[in-house]
C-alpha cells in the first residue's frame, strides 16, 4: 500500500513538474525554473510525509466481534454473529476514540489496534515496523442519526487529534484520509474537498463532506484531516458501482462530530430537542401549488397535537422565516438548530400565515427516539433465549412509553430472531411481546429462562403474545 501511494505521488509530481516546466519556458530560463519546481514539489512531499508521521499514531484500527440484526422476511429481523473491522481516531489523550456507529453497532467484543509511536520504532532500519498494542475498548455510546460512536480504552497518555472547523472548508481544499482500508492499517490517501454540504436524503438533518480522497471498506470511522492535521471529518461511506473507491467518498463534518462526541461523553447519548413539528423545505413548485408568498424557506408540514408548537398556536401550513432571529433557508437548518438547543429552553419562532407575521416563544422538549432503545445489545448471551430462537429484552417503562399502546405493562419484547438458535424455525417475530408461558405470567427475560428450564424436553411451550395490538397463542416445543 505504501509503495502504491509513493508511485501515485510520483506520478502527480511528474505531472506538476511538466506543467510548471511548460510555464517556465514561457517566463524565462527553462532549466532553472524546472529545478525550482522540482525543489518546491520535494518540499511539498516532505510536508505530506511529516503530516502522516504526526497523524498516524492517533489513528486506530477497530476490530469487532458481535451480532448483526438484519431483515428476515417482511416483518422479522434475524441475528447472526459477525466479525468486522473499521477505523477510528483518538481525540483525547485519556483514550477516547471517535468512530462510526455502523462499525460497532451490536458489538459484543471491541478491540483497538494502536499505531506504534514514532519513538517506539526509533533505531529500526526496516520499513516493516512492529505492530502496535491491542487493547479492549468499551462503547461509551452511539448515535444512529449521525452514524457516530465513541469508544474508551484504558486510561493513558495517548497521541490524539484535535477537531478543525468544517464550516471553513471550501471545494478544492487538500485533505487526507487515514485508516485501515480492507484491513491495511496505517494507510493514507490524498485528495480534495469536492463539496462541503452534501445532503444525501431530502430534508435529512445530516450533511456530509464529499471528497475524492481514496476511501474504501475499512476506512469507516477514520479521520479526514486538513493540512494542519486537524480532523475536519470522519470518513463514513462511499458511492460505488464496483464496491471500491471511485472518487466519491463522504465524511461527517467535524463540527457535527465534535458536538455528538461531547454529548455522548457527557451523557452516553445524544438528546435532541424539538417543538413538535415536521418541517419541510419550500420549493418553487411547492410554493406555486400552495399559493405561498415565498418560493423558498421552511413550511410546517405537520404540527403534532398536544405538542409545544400546537399549544403555542402554530398550525400546519405556517411558513417559518426565522428561528431565534436567524433566517431559515431549509428544513435541515431548522431541525438542526432546534435539536442543538438545551432541553427546557425556549426559542423564538417567526412565522407567516396568510400574509400576517407573528413571533411566538416555544419551549423545547426532548425528541422521542424509540430506535435508541435497540441501538445497543449489551449482553447478548443473557438476552438470547435459544429454546425460542429469539433475542429478547424485559419491557421497561421507557419502552412502553415509546412503543404503540400495549395490552400489558409487564412482559418480554422480542428484539430479533437468532439464526444460531436451537429451536429451528421460531413462531415468534421481532416486535412481539410475550406475556405468559403456558399458565405462568412472564415479567422478565430471567423469568422466561427459568420457566423454560423447568419444563421437560419435548413438552409444549404455549406463549401468549401480543402482535400488532392483537393477542394470540403461539405453540412451540421445548428442545
> Is the residue at 213 inside a domain?
yes
> Is the residue at 285 inside a domain?
yes
What is the pLDDT, as a whole number, of residue 8?
Answer: 39
What is the pLDDT, as a whole number, of residue 424?
Answer: 44
**Where in the sequence is the domain holding 286, given as residue range(s)?**
273-366
What is the pLDDT, as a whole number, of residue 75?
Answer: 47
**Secondary structure (H, E, C), the chain:** CHHHHHHHHHHHHHHHHHHHHHHHHHHCCHHHHHHHHHHHHHHHHHHHHHHHHHHHHHEEEEEEEEEEEEECCCCCEEEEEEEEEEEEEEEECCCEEEEEHHHHCCEEEEEEECCCCHHHHCCCCCCCCCCCCEEEEEEEEEECCCCEEEEECCCCCCCCCCECCHHHCCCCCEEEEEECHHHCCCEEEEEEEEEEEECCCCCCCCCEEEECCCCCCCCCCCEEECCCCCEEEEEEEECCCCCCCCCCEEEEEHHHHHHHHHHHHHHCCCCCEECCEEEEEECHHHHHHHCCCCCCEEEEEEECCCCHHHHCCCCCCCEEEEECCEECCCHHHHHHHHHCCCCCCEEEEEEEECCEEEEEEEECEECCCHHHHHCCCCCHHHHEECCCCEEEEECCHHHHHHCCCCCCCCCEEEEEEECCCCCCCCCCCCCCEEEEECCEECCCHHHHHHHHHCCCCCCEEEEEEEECCEEEEEEEECC
Compute how many other C-beta atoms are within 10 angstroms of the C-beta atom of residue 128: 6
The sign of the dihedral angle between the CA atoms of 418, 424, 430, 432 is: negative
Annotated catalytic residue 5 = no
**Residue 329 C-beta-side C-alpha neighbours within 13 Å:** 1
* Domain co-membership, 305 together with 357: yes
Q: What domain count does the chain have?
A: 4
What is the pLDDT, as a whole number, of residue 449?
Answer: 92
- The overall pTM is greater than 0.75: no
Annotated catalytic residue 70 = no
Question: Residue 426 maps to which CATH number?
Answer: 2.30.42.10
Those residues of the chain that have pLDDT short of 70 are 1-29, 67-80, 118-130, 202-203, 355, 369-381, 402, 418-426
What is the pLDDT, as a whole number, of residue 421?
Answer: 42
Annotated catalytic residue 220 = yes
The catalytic position among 87, 187, 220, 418 is: 220
> Is the residue at 291 inside a domain?
yes
As a whole number of Å, the end-to-end CA separation of the chain is 51
* Domain co-membership, 204 together with 348: no
Among 271, 292, 317, residue at a domain's last position: 271
The catalytic position among 84, 143, 147, 187 is: 147
* Domain co-membership, 326 together with 354: yes
Q: For residue range 174-184, list pLDDT tens digits in order.
A: 999 999 998 88
The catalytic position among 87, 102, 254, 423 is: 102
What is the pLDDT, as a whole number, of residue 477?
Answer: 86
* Domain co-membership, 95 together with 49: no
* Domain co-membership, 159 together with 266: yes
Q: For residue range 133-172, list pLDDT tens digits in order.
A: 999 999 998 888 899 999 999 999 999 999 999 999 999 9
Amino acid at each position: 500500500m505504501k509503495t502504491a501511494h509513493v508511485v501515485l505521488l510520483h506520478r502527480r509530481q511528474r505531472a506538476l513538474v511538466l506543467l510548471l516546466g511548460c510555464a517556465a519556458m514561457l517566463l524565462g530560463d527553462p532549466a532553472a525554473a524546472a529545478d525550482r519546481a522540482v525543489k518546491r514539489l520535494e518540499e511539498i512531499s516532505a510536508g505530506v510525509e511529516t503530516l502522516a508521521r504526526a497523524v498516524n499514531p492517533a489513528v486506530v484500527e477497530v476490530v469487532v466481534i458481535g451480532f448483526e440484526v438484519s431483515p428476515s422476511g417482511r416483518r422479522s429481523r434475524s441475528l447472526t454473529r459477525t466479525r468486522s473491522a473499521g477505523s477510528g481516531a483518538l481525540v483525547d489523550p485519556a483514550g477516547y476514540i471517535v468512530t462510526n456507529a455502523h462499525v460497532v453497532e451490536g458489538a459484543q467484543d471491541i478491540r483497538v489496534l494502536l499505531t506504534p509511536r514514532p519513538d517506539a520504532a526509533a533505531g529500526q532500519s526496516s520499513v516493516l515496523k512492529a505492530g502496535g498494542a491491542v487493547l479492549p475498548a468499551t462503547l461509551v455510546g452511539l448515535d444512529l442519526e449521525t452514524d457516530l460512536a465513541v469508544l474508551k480504552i484504558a486510561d493513558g497518555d495517548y497521541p490524539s487529534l484535535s477537531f478543525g472547523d468544517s464550516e471553513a472548508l471550501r471545494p478544492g481544499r487538500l485533505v487526507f484520509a487515514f485508516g485501515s482500508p480492507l484491513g491495511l492499517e496505517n494507510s493514507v490517501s490524498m485528495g480534495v474537498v469536492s463539496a462541503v454540504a452534501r445532503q444525501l436524503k431530502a430534508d435529512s438533518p445530516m450533511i456530509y463532506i464529499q471528497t475524492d480522497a481514496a476511501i474504501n471498506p475499512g476506512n469507516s470511522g477514520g479521520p479526514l484531516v486538513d493540512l494542519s492535521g486537524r480532523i475536519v471529518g470522519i470518513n463514513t461511506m462511499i458511492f460505488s458501482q464496483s464496491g471500491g473507491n471511485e472518487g466519491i467518498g463522504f465524511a461527517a463534518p467535524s463540527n457535527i462530530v465534535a458536538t455528538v462526541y461531547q454529548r455522548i461523553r457527557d451523557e452516553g447519548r445524544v438528546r435532541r430537542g424539538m417543538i413538535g413539528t415536521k418541517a419541510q423545505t419550500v420549493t418553487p413548485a411547492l410554493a406555486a401549488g400552495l399559493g405561498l408568498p415565498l418560493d423558498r424557506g421552511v413550511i410546517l408540514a405537520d404540527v403534532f397535537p398536544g405538542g409545544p408548537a400546537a399549544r403555542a398556536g402554530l398550525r400546519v401550513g405556517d411558513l417559518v422565516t426565522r428561528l431565534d432571529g436567524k433566517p431559515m433557508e431549509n428544513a435541515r437548518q431548522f431541525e438542526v438548530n432546534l435539536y442543538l438547543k438545551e432541553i427546557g429552553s425556549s426559542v423564538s419562532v417567526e412565522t407567516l400565515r396568510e400574509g400576517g407575521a407573528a413571533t411566538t416563544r416555544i419551549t423545547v422538549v426532548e425528541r422521542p427516539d424509540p430506535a435508541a432503545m435497540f441501538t445497543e445489545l449489551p449482553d447478548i448471551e443473557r438476552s438470547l433465549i435459544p429454546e425460542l430462537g429469539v433475542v429478547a429484552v424485559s419491557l421497561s417503562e421507557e419502552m412502553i412509553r415509546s412503543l404503540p399502546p400495549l395490552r400489558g405493562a409487564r412482559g418480554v419484547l422480542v428484539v430479533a430472531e437468532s439464526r444460531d438458535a436451537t429451536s429451528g424455525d421460531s413462531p415468534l417475530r421481532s416486535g412481539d411481546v410475550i406475556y405468559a408461558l403456558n399458565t405462568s405470567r412472564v415479567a422478565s427475560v430471567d423469568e422466561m429462562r427459568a420457566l423454560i428450564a423447568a419444563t421437560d424436553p419435548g413438552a409444549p411451550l404455549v406463549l401468549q403474545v401480543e402482535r400488532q395490538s392483537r393477542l394470540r397463542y403461539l405453540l412451540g416445543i421445548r428442545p
